[in-house]
Amino acid sequence: MPALGTTEGYDQIAGYDGNTEWVTLDIDGDGKIDLVNTATLADGKVWGGDGAAYWKVYKNTGTGFATTATQWTLPALGTTEGYDQIAGYDGNTEWVTLDIDGDGKIDLVNTATLADGKVWGGDGAAYWKVYKNTGTGFATTATQWTLPALGTTEGY
């Protein structure tokens, strides 16, 4: 088990201690659950800052988790916190990690704009921004995931 740097350590399969957060999930699509650390212990913000953001992924070796992390690249979010959790919100923007395209790999889906918290494109041409899983990180350029009209200004 990799060191966390706190007195509690990884005392849960998903959680937080102080400012750092972690979760267990198969992030690379190899069928084995990995340990993903999403935020620094020092300030609770995404590793590398929003401009060069990454998560620390401790890959499953079959007998435990690697003791050295792999940097899992993230797209810029445009906030000081960055993607500091696998699902959450910062200001008005919201995101979640799930396999939206059915390829067996978890993607990063941003559902709302940072400016006003409404769906991308408005209700008439609504879409989510999908950052596809590359196997070593998430794409830095989003794919538009089309949504049907909902009939409100908020969209989905």
pLDDT of residue 44: 77
How distant, in Å, are the alpha carbons of 62, 91, 96, 115, 154 from that of 123? Answer: 46, 21, 20, 16, 7
Contact 130, 101 (CB under 8 A): yes
Burial of 126 (0-12, 13-18, 19+ CB in 10 A): buried
Structure tokens of 25?
């999930």
Mean pLDDT by runs of 10 across the 156 residues of the chain is 51 51 88 90 79 90 95 83 71 84 94 84 86 95 90 63
Contact 119, 156 (CB under 8 A): yes
